[in-house]
Amino acid sequence: MQEFPIVGIVGLGLIGGSLGLDLTRLGYRVLGVSRHSATCSAACRLGMAHLASTDWRILTRAEIVFTCVPIDQTLPSIEHLAQLLPPGVVITDVASVKEALVAPATQYWPWFVGGHPMAGGAQQGIQAAVPRLFQGRPYVLTPIAQTKSHALALVESVVQRLEPHLLHCDPRAHDQAVALISHTPVYVSAALVLAAGHTEPETRQLAQQLASTGFADTSRVGGGNPQLGLQMARYNRVHLLTHLQQYQRHLDQLKAALLAEDWPQVEHLLARAHDTRPGFVQARGIISPD
Ligand code: NAP
């Protein structure tokens, strides 16, 4: 065995391509699998993989495989890998939901470890991949009781080299927390963009010219990859609905204060928001990507 394990990546999009860029730079041998031969050529040319193919059999030489495909393709990909890979090869995923995936994936493949890098962007596909996407960002692993400790250790050793903020939690706790800080913002932001799109033409035209960083920040996640937003909701519907109801309650509270012209209450609520935000975004110097 060489110094670094041979890494396989299935799905050379934003996350898979970005992972490939970093791992080749760090000295790993990377084997990529895509549905399209043009993507395979691009991945090799751009330095995301040493070898890439539409034929999954190239992955039989890998020691660890990252599945970087849409959420609904994660279990089918793991099932497919389970028919190809020799026992003991570690599989990990990057999907944004964990509870629906980790237990069945571990049943198909006992050397599976759930993972989710909390890093991304509004674009998708190989052209959206960027180096050092995961650096300084949370990367959560979600082992369960059946997770093999040596599989977890191998995933940790590779992921650590991306210099993320590495955390561990159980799949359900993960889904509850990401519903709050990732999936609810997508739906709140999407509603904001839809509302902006439904204003009267004259107001909308001027607003489009005046829109600056504030609107760019608040609309970014709602204007992102629609398929990802849809799948987050389908796979994390209950927790998402719980947090949307909480959000609606607070919006109603703000609206009621405005209707009543209760300015001390408006100020109180805005001051609470001001004081609460740093606990989520400033502690580790999180800055919004474009
Ligand atoms: P993406 O840019 O669209 O990449 C996904 C890749 O999966 C595609 O480029 C494609 O690669 C492959 N794929 C295989 N089967 C597919 C199918 N039926 N339909 C579409 N693509 C298919 O998406 P991504 O943002 O990298 O997301 C991949 C995973 O990362 C998802 O599970 C998502 O939950 C997770 N994630 C996303 C973000 C984010 O902000 N975007 C953040 C953290 C985690 P080939 O063309 O090479 O086959």
The yes-or-no verdict on residue 287 having pLDDT over 70 is no
Mean pLDDT of the 18-32 span? 98
- Supply the DSSP symbol for 66: E
> What does the pLDDT read at residue 103?
98
Ligand 1 atom with the shortest distance to the CA of 227 = 3
Angle at CA of residue 95, ends 14 and 279, nearest 5°? 90
- 275 C-alpha to ligand 1 centroid (Å): 35
The yes-or-no verdict on residue 246 having pLDDT over 60 is yes
> What does the pLDDT read at residue 286?
66
For 155, the token pair is 């995933």
Q: 7 near 65, Cβ under 8 Å?
A: yes
| Share of residues in the chain with pLDDT > 70 (%) | 97
CA distances from 114 to 151, 166, 175, 269, 287 (A): 11, 13, 12, 38, 26
The yes-or-no verdict on residue 79 having pLDDT over 70 is yes
pLDDT, one tens digit per residue, over 28-48 is: 999 999 999 999 999 999 999
Pocket lining for ligand 1, CB < 6 angstroms = 11-16, 34-36, 39, 68-71, 73-74, 94-96, 116-117, 120, 124-125, 128, 225, 228
Ligand 1 atom with the shortest distance to the CA of 118 = 43
The pTM (predicted TM-score) of the whole model is: 0.94
pLDDT, one tens digit per residue, over 102-155 is: 999 999 999 999 999 999 888 899 999 999 999 999 999 999 999 999 999 999
pLDDT, one tens digit per residue, over 139-149 is: 999 999 999 99
Q: CB-based contacts of 13: which residues, under 8 Å, 6+ apart?
A: 68, 69, 124, 125, 126, 128, 129
Give me the chain's average pLDDT, please.
96
- 211 C-alpha to ligand 1 centroid (Å): 30
